[in-house]
Chains A and B, each alone.
Chain A
Amino acid sequence: MTDVLRILVAPLVWLAAFSGVYGLHGVGCAFGWADVELLSISLFRVALLAAWGAAVLLQLSLIPTLGSNRFGSAAPFVRRTSVALAWVGLVATLWTLLPVAVMSACD
């Protein structure tokens, strides 16, 4: 069963990060956080970027973890697949949350 979890963990982390950032964005816009500024950068933008960065780091750390002897699977198939999906998680995190860096926040 742990093997099934190994396969699912990276996409699960993506899903959590994606929902989390979307939720953070929704809450921030609803409560007008976007208008709070510090040194001409919106604090809200900084928070979104930080959340994105944390998610990317977490995904990055999953790749060697799932490939390691300590945490990775003993079965070669599961190890390969889980590492491949860790890459999927990383790319998905970078790709789908890219808008926090380039889009206007609450328009």
Chain B
Amino acid sequence: MSALRRHRRLTAIWASEPGWKGWFSTVNHTDVGRMFLATSFFFFLVGGILAMLIRAQLATPHSAFAGPEVYNQLFTMHGTIMMFLFAIPTFEGLAIYLLPKMLGTRDLAYPRLTAYGYWCYFFGGGMLLFSLLAGIAPDGGWFMYPPLTGPIYSPGINTDFWLIGITFVEISAICAAVEFCVSILRYRAPGMSLDKMPIFAWYALVTSLMILTGFPPLILGSVLLEVERAFGLPFFQAELGGDSLLWQHLFWLFGHPEVYIIFLPAAGVISTVIPVMCRTTLLGYGWVVAAAVALAFLSFGLWVHHMFTTGIPHMGLAFFSAASTLVAVPTGVQVFAWIGTMWKGRPELHLPMLHILGFFVTFVMGGLTGVMVAIVPFDWQAHDTAFVTAHLHYVLFGGFVFPILAAIYYWLPLFTGRTRFFKLGELAFGLIFVGFHGTFLAMHWVGLLGQRRRIETYDAEAGWTTINLVSSVSSFVLAIGLAMVLLDVLLHFVVAVRGRRNPWHAGSLEWAMPAPPPAYNFASLPVVETRDPVSSDPHLAVRLARGEGWLADPALDRRETLTVEPSSGTPEYMVIYPGNTRLPIVFAAITGLFFLSLLIKVYWLTPIALAGIATVGWRWVWSLAQPVDLGPQEAGRGERLPVSGETDRAPGWWGSAFLLAADATFFGSLLFGYAFLWTVAPGWPPPELLEPSLLELGVGLAGALVASIGMRIAIRGNRSRGTGVAGLAVALTGTAAAALAVASLMIRVPAPAGHAYDATLFVLGGYALFHAALAGLMQTFLIVRVRRGFTSPARRAEFPIVCLWADYLALVTILVLVVAHLPGWLA
């Protein structure tokens, strides 16, 4: 088969539907990545316009431009959009687009989930955008401290838009994170062991693990606050045993890792771009990996440094002050590794490199002011002033926007297959750099003079007028610079000339394919022997197109790729992807309906939406049905591999494991909240404790164990006789018993709206009940599968997946019942 014929054949198999209709049914990572990036830059534009409005308001004292009602929405939405609708989605989009290409595979682990995540982001972002246009946007500041955002002081719908819209958008982050973890660990080119992974993949892996553990506390906080607002269950009201500090803990437990979730992908870009721009390799690859991992962990020990002024005992603050200084060490290691790389090679001042230099200057300054505010006494003065605002912009703009601009210009030739024609970018960089520093240096200064953040105006006597004016004027220079980048990129798509492949002479695999990339990425999958496969074999692209790698034969008209053992990179099994489908957008729309019903308080719609979610979810999984045993398949290079449905650890199992890690963090945060309220909140112990019930506890614990054991019987039955129905029926009975026990707990809670204790128990019970329903649905699904003949001793992959969820249910049920009954017994 000639390279051209193979290209046509593969394109027919992998391509999306032509035209705009393709947007709604595509599951291809290149398409979805582009859609993600386009949408996130749209939101960057919106957030930027809000920033301009803020600066216009603050340019002069007593400005009548916007009253507090509008101004509060402006700054809240500016922060919210930049954090949740720009920064995180940009990482997701970039990683979705790049990862499979860099890892030498054809798509991410769950193509339909990629698309689902995008549509959740699209609809959730749309909700927030609507609130902004309708003038009912959130106005409590982007970190939404209750009681200000609680039902009493913010009765309007504004806050609900934030809580519900952001939670909806977070789904896409969680989906993407699960998908990246599985893809990076398993979906790589054969031979790509951990030490040969492109450095960007390491950063993306670390970032994804952080999203899985960092976002659940925020989702929990949002759920609790929304439940308090909508149904009156008190969690944050002091007079009913709640504590507003709980929100601060949950929020910053997310909020600080968030900063590094934003910075690490950018650091991945820097670590990728600098060596190429300097014609060398990264200095200290292993050190940089270790530094990234260390940074990820340490960033979870920083959250209280946002709460230095809340009256926490000084030793408690000292732990976090110490961790906040220590976190600068791995950052320093990376910065010096990058400078060392530049010394090792010969830096060339291409446009991406300019932005990297902009990063260095800005980020180092942001890091230094960061170390200052890590020092408790300094923070007591600087906290909540414009100094902190300026610091965080130095870190985020320096640590994210400059690297992303570098990334845009670095990968643009790959995106479009063209070279730049107009040289607007260099001028734009100059304006951005000057404008940014003008804006935010001034803001540091005015903050030290005592200007608080979030004030809508100030007196002329304060003496801040000139500084604010400088800041505002500079911010418009910055905006013009960014607008020029936008223009440059748009012109690039329209009028630039076709360029050659791999213009930077980079060594990573995304350059071993035609540009713009075909839908299937690689005509055959490469065999990786070094960290820079394209450098060590300049003809790699041609050889892959000729079909000299794995999976070169498109004869079976299937979307195929293969997975590897995580650490060594030896091929393990083959994956056959589903094709184009509208299921993701439909699923996301129904998910959106669920959130919408909660937002506009049309509660009869909620169960309908939930039923819809279950139905579509069922179809989603059902469509992966494999009617017959396939046995080992031809994988090229004379090797045969089993298909994923005929293994014990299919992609679904890995995805479930990572999703459960996030789920467990959510549950852990809930338990933390329970313990926190018990020890710190005023008004505890509660007036009335739950009456312990041996029967409830016994039924629940027995049910949990039976559900777990039943699944093991089912696995064994399927393996020996090809049927697991008996075991599944046992497991389902156990699940039902567990559900019964936790439902009884929820009913017996004395007064859910009367005290935070009762409210917390109610939510704990609800959490367990939800998991029982989920496990029950899975078990029923599997029974139907078995009865219809879609399983066999070989086609066994779904059993371990359901077993995993049953085990988690058992764990949750036992813990919930025990922590609910314990206080009653001890009393």
B290 adjacent to A18 (CB under 8 Å): no
A30 shortest CB reach to chain B, Å: 4
Residue from the list B287, B293, B298, B567 in contact with A8, Cβ < 8 A: B293
Contacts of A105 in B (CB 8 A): 313, 315
B194 adjacent to A11 (CB under 8 Å): no
Residue from the list B287, B300, B316, B680 in contact with A84, Cβ < 8 A: B287
- Over the window 281-321 of chain B, the binary record of Cβ atoms lying under 8 Å from chain A Cβ atoms (1 yes, 0 no) is 00000110110011011101100100000000111101100
B735 shortest CB reach to chain A, Å: 28
Query: Which residue of the partner chain B has the closest CB to A21?
Result: B319
Q: How far is the CA of A36 from the CA of B322 in the complex (A)?
A: 27
Contacts of A31 in B (CB 8 A): 679
Query: Which residue of the partner chain B has the closest CB to A76?
Result: B195
A77 adjacent to B195 (CB under 8 Å): yes
Residue from the list A21, A27, A85, A95 in contact with B326, Cβ < 8 A: A95
A94 shortest CB reach to chain B, Å: 10
Contacts of A80 in B (CB 8 A): 286
Residue from the list A77, A96, A107 in contact with B322, Cβ < 8 A: A96
Q: How far is the CA of A27 from the CA of B294 in the complex (A)?
A: 28
Contacts of A95 in B (CB 8 A): 322-323, 326
Q: How far is the CA of A2 from the CA of B567 in the complex (A)?
A: 8
Q: How far is the CA of A33 from the CA of B315 in the complex (A)?
A: 15
Q: Check B568 for interface membership: any CB of A closer than 8 A.
A: yes
Contacts of A23 in B (CB 8 A): 675
Q: Check A47 for interface membership: any CB of B closer than 8 A.
A: no
A25 shortest CB reach to chain B, Å: 6
In this complex, how many residues of chain B approach chain A with their Cβ under 8 Å: the count is: 33
Query: Which residue of the partner chain B has the closest CB to A14?
Result: B297
Q: Check B341 for interface membership: any CB of A closer than 8 A.
A: no
A29 adjacent to B319 (CB under 8 Å): no
B325 shortest CB reach to chain A, Å: 8
Provided the pairs A104-B315, A106-B313 are in contact, do residues A30 and B679 lie with their beta carbons within 8 angstroms?
A: yes
Q: Check B396 for interface membership: any CB of A closer than 8 A.
A: no
B566 adjacent to A3 (CB under 8 Å): yes
Taking each of B195, B304, B568, which has the highest tally of chain A beta carbons within 10 Å of its own beta carbon? Answer: B195
Residue from the list A3, A27, A73, A106 in contact with B315, Cβ < 8 A: A106
Q: Check A43 for interface membership: any CB of B closer than 8 A.
A: no
Q: How far is the CA of A73 from the CA of B298 in the complex (A)?
A: 24
Q: Check A55 for interface membership: any CB of B closer than 8 A.
A: no
Provided the pairs A3-B194, A81-B290, A84-B287 are in contact, do residues A96 and B323 lie with their beta carbons within 8 angstroms?
A: yes
B326 adjacent to A103 (CB under 8 Å): no
Interface residues of B in 219-268 (CB under 8 A from A): none
Q: How far is the CA of A22 from the CA of B519 in the complex (A)?
A: 50
- Over the window 661-694 of chain B, the binary record of Cβ atoms lying under 8 Å from chain A Cβ atoms (1 yes, 0 no) is 0000000000000011001100000000000000
A25 adjacent to B315 (CB under 8 Å): yes
Query: Which residue of the partner chain A has the closest CB to B330?
Result: A88
B318 adjacent to A27 (CB under 8 Å): no
B673 shortest CB reach to chain A, Å: 13
Provided the pairs A15-B300, A15-B301, A75-B195 are in contact, do residues A22 and B293 lie with their beta carbons within 8 angstroms?
A: no
Provided the pairs A8-B293, A95-B322 are in contact, do residues A18 and B301 lie with their beta carbons within 8 angstroms?
A: yes
Contacts of B286 in A (CB 8 A): 77, 80-81, 84
Q: Check A53 for interface membership: any CB of B closer than 8 A.
A: no
B680 adjacent to A88 (CB under 8 Å): no
Contacts of B318 in A (CB 8 A): 99, 103
Query: Which residue of the partner chain B has the closest CB to A27?
Result: B679
Contacts of A38 in B (CB 8 A): none
Contacts of B814 in A (CB 8 A): none
A78 adjacent to B290 (CB under 8 Å): no
Q: Check A97 for interface membership: any CB of B closer than 8 A.
A: yes
Contacts of B679 in A (CB 8 A): 26-27, 30-31
B568 adjacent to A75 (CB under 8 Å): yes
Interface residues of A in 69-103 (CB under 8 A from B): 73, 75, 77-78, 80-81, 84-85, 88, 91-92, 95-100, 103
A99 shortest CB reach to chain B, Å: 4
Q: How far is the CA of A80 from the CA of B290 in the complex (A)?
A: 10
Taking each of A23, A27, A75, A92, which has the highest tally of chain B beta carbons within 10 Å of its own beta carbon? Answer: A92
Contacts of A21 in B (CB 8 A): 319
Q: Check B173 for interface membership: any CB of A closer than 8 A.
A: no
B193 adjacent to A85 (CB under 8 Å): no
B322 adjacent to A98 (CB under 8 Å): yes
B564 shortest CB reach to chain A, Å: 12
B313 adjacent to A29 (CB under 8 Å): yes
A23 shortest CB reach to chain B, Å: 8
Contacts of A92 in B (CB 8 A): 294, 297-298, 301, 323, 326
Residue from the list B194, B315, B322, B676 in contact with A75, Cβ < 8 A: B194
Q: Check A50 for interface membership: any CB of B closer than 8 A.
A: no
A20 shortest CB reach to chain B, Å: 11
Interface residues of B in 590-631 (CB under 8 A from A): none
Residue from the list A30, A78, A85, A88 in contact with B194, Cβ < 8 A: A78
Contacts of A27 in B (CB 8 A): 679
A103 adjacent to B315 (CB under 8 Å): yes
B181 shortest CB reach to chain A, Å: 10
Q: Check A12 for interface membership: any CB of B closer than 8 A.
A: yes
Q: How far is the CA of A30 from the CA of B679 in the complex (A)?
A: 6
Q: How far is the CA of A85 from the CA of B294 in the complex (A)?
A: 7
Q: Check A39 for interface membership: any CB of B closer than 8 A.
A: no
Query: Which residue of the partner chain B has the closest CB to A6?
Result: B567
Contacts of B509 in A (CB 8 A): none
B481 shortest CB reach to chain A, Å: 39
B806 shortest CB reach to chain A, Å: 21
Q: How far is the CA of A12 from the CA of B301 in the complex (A)?
A: 11
Contacts of B296 in A (CB 8 A): 11
B209 shortest CB reach to chain A, Å: 8
Q: Check B185 for interface membership: any CB of A closer than 8 A.
A: yes
- Which A residues form the contact surface with B (CB < 8 A)? 1-4, 7-8, 11-12, 14-15, 18, 21-23, 25-27, 29-31, 73, 75, 77-78, 80-81, 84-85, 88, 91-92, 95-100, 103-107
Q: List 17 A-B contacts (CB under 8 A).
A: A1-B185, A4-B566, A7-B293, A11-B298, A18-B319, A25-B319, A26-B680, A29-B313, A29-B316, A30-B679, A78-B195, A85-B293, A88-B330, A92-B326, A99-B319, A104-B314, A105-B313
- List 10 other contacts, CB 8 Å, given A73-B567, A75-B567: A11-B297, A18-B301, A29-B313, A75-B194, A77-B195, A80-B286, A81-B293, A84-B290, A99-B322, A104-B314
Which 4 A-B pairs give the minimum distances between C-beta atoms?
Answer: A77-B195, A99-B318, A11-B297, A3-B567
